[in-house]
Chains A and B, each alone.
Chain A
């Protein structure tokens, strides 16, 4: 086919610019909103997803990680006695107060771990080592929250819930979905910082023995340990994500903004492609008079939409990449995983071709006899 679609599209540079601007705007808006959604979702369950645990043992009906209810640490031995459990460790994730240099207080989430174990450790360390937590009152926090917590350097002494603490390292990119930064420390320190009794814990993290059946171990723990829930890491992760993203409405708001981007993009693209089609209506009438079936004309219009989609997508993703990169140093990370990037391409294509359908409807009803009218 002669390049009618391309020529019609590129002939009017102003209209092409408007079309591409509309698509780029829609792509960036959708990518940013969906990227925020993905980023928020991953952030809510970051501690769980990076825990290296196979199972999480919680008090009954704990809906999400920040809402843990303390239980007796004697359950730890009961859990370790269950067949198929290779390792089990006590774990704390709980809010407490951090005293700022100016005397005011900031809420933080203390994460207490067994440093000797591989479970629940901080990740992405950029300064210090996890083993440094063995030092007295040692804590590790994320460099994103240095300013917020008034921390400038390693070895700085701070106060948490009336207890002395010393910064021994920094992580990078461990965000908290709430405004309370995570502060990693030993289980014992965490008990002190959160005011938890010495014989209590909030969670038990379990590693399964090689070849153990997770469902069977879950069942056995439930049978042998009273008043607990046993969740796989993905189950607890999804529960936490669902709570924060949908029960609170935060995720719905972000998704609505993404839908809004889609609608705005659709309208702009539909309007410009419709205007382009109307401009070339006489040509389409000539094509039909020459004997072109409707599908031939549709192909020209759909091709225009597809070319617009492709160019708009590429430009949109370039802009989005800058936005995503810039967000990494901020409090809310925008993530752009490959499935989102690929899915966005098809969404852009569907949006543009869907918009072209409005024009196709106009061409379908076009009377080829118009070619004889002057």
Chain B
């Protein structure tokens, strides 16, 4: 089975002065459906650059990135949004919700981008919010939600596009440890029960035990691949935490 994301000899140099700054120096990795892959590393190691290139937001200087088997490194800025829309859902450190839209409308926006009709989008948005435990908050604006609730809206929004791949950039950074763990638990469930490839960039050592694989990036290269390699059975979560997400904060 082909990986959801296949990265080969990926290099990225940012133009800065005469020499430029090299962020990635030849990265190789795969992200597979049904696993939660965590990317770790110190600041400036190239994790977010790698995530951006895997998310078709940033172009590589050289190397290859295949998304669901499709080579994307040669695509132009008009073609890349379509790849993102079709295959990738994003979860951001700062949630990046639209503050003037309700929780439901934030999710509906993603569905609108996918071409879902307004009535159907409203229904599906409500279903998705119910799935992340926010069925009673669908009319709330982001300012009325807690950090954990906001991130769950962001997860519902990412899921609305039904992507094979979910990329999360520091999704727990703005949350306290309990809520952060619950959010990662939810992402882990998504990976295992819905067979999504979930890639999480994180500094948060408190959530590492949810990872199926951890890849450490240092100075733009993979420093320690595949640690710790393990794949829990579908539906069973690490640390014995309950699967139910209804009681998330």
Contacts and interface: CB of A to CB of B under 8 A. Distances in A.
Interface of A: 1-4, 7-8, 11, 282-283, 286-293, 296, 368-369, 371-372, 374
A16 to B, nearest CB: 12
B113 A289 contact: no
A63 B130 CA distance: 80
B157 to A, nearest CB: 8
Nearest to A285: B96
Interface stretch (B66-74, B98-106, B219-227, B235-243): B98-106
Of A8, A287, A288, A368, most buried by chain B (CB within 10 Å of CB) is A368
Contacts of A283: 96, 98-99
Chain A contact residues, majority secondary structure: helix
Interface of B: 48, 51-52, 55, 57-58, 78, 81-86, 88, 90, 92-94, 96, 98-101, 105-106, 108-110, 112-113, 157, 161, 169
9 contacts: A1-B112, A11-B99, A283-B96, A286-B98, A290-B90, A290-B161, A292-B85, A371-B92, A372-B169
Nearest to A9: B100
A-B CB proximity, top 8 nearest: A291-B85, A7-B100, A291-B84, A2-B105, A286-B96, A11-B100, A291-B81, A2-B108
Contacts of A287: 109, 113
Nearest to B86: A291
Of B57, B78, B112, B169, most buried by chain A (CB within 10 Å of CB) is B57
Contact of A4 (B52, B84, B109, B169): B109
Contact of B96 (A282, A293, A369): A282
A60 B165 CA distance: 86
A4 B110 CA distance: 12
A369 B113 contact: no
Given A7-B101, A8-B100, A372 B51 contact: yes
Contacts of A11: 99-100
B152 to A, nearest CB: 17
A282 B93 CA distance: 13
Nearest to A11: B100
A4 B93 CA distance: 22
A294 to B, nearest CB: 8
A311 B201 CA distance: 46
A286 B92 contact: yes
A372 B108 contact: no
Contacts of B112: 1-2
